[in-house]
Amino acid sequence: MTSTSFSSLSLEEIYTPPPVSAPSSPVPSDDEDCPPPGKHLPYEFRLDRKRLKRDAKYRKPERLFYAFGANIRDVLEYHRTHSLPLPNCRSDVFVMPRGDYDMAIALYDSYTIYRENLAREEEEDVIRLLRQELDVCKDQEPRWYYSSLDLCED
């Protein structure tokens, strides 16, 4: 069996998107159920860990991801251009958002943001780097997304 390097394949050979039209704008459509724009997460979207431990009837809110929207094609092109191996899309950095994008590159999730928050300068560096490296991130602000899959552990 012959081995073909990832960088020598065309994007069409690696990934054929489903027959869904691409977003007309890099900015995702607003989801009325999502929190308002910005990083602040209203209380009703946060996981109440104390209540979870003491109240058997407590229903956890659905996990949200503070992320940049992206398409699989954007990430595959980046990996191919930089001669990187295929990305591991089962990590908690990549989630499958509902809406206009194939995927989202998550900075935080709603269950851990207040326990595992980057320092302001570090967060700004990560955002700057994503905008510098991925064209799809250049003209958008990170926002909260619901995921159609939840691959993260609590």
Taking the C-alpha atoms of residue 86 and residue 89, their distance in angstroms, rounded to an integer, is 9
> Measuring CA to CA, which residue among 117, 104, 115, 114 is closest to residue 145?
104
> Measuring CA to CA, which residue among 34, 33, 113, 102 is closest to residue 68?
102
- With beta carbons less than 8 A apart as the criterion, state whether 104 and 94 touch: yes
**pLDDT recorded at residue 128:** 96
> Measuring CA to CA, which residue among 20, 141, 7, 127 is closest to residue 71?
20
Token pair for residue 69? 């929207």
pLDDT digits (tens, 9 = 90+) for 31-58: 556 677 889 888 888 999 999 999 999 9
Q: What value does the mean pLDDT take over residues 53-66?
A: 91
Angle among Cα 58, 151, 107 to the nearest 5 degrees reads 95
**pLDDT recorded at residue 137:** 93
pLDDT digits (tens, 9 = 90+) for 107-152: 999 998 988 889 999 999 999 999 999 999 999 999 998 876 654 4
Coil, strand or helix at 8: helix
- pLDDT greater than 70 at residue 11: no
pLDDT digits (tens, 9 = 90+) for 95-110: 666 667 888 888 999 9
Taking the C-alpha atoms of residue 77 and residue 7, their distance in angstroms, rounded to an integer, is 9
Q: Between 80 and 30, whose confidence is greater?
A: 80
Token pair for residue 97? 């958002």
Q: What value does the mean pLDDT take over residues 73-84?
A: 83
pTM for the model: 0.70
Distances (CA, A) of 151 to 10, 30, 96, 109: 29, 23, 9, 11
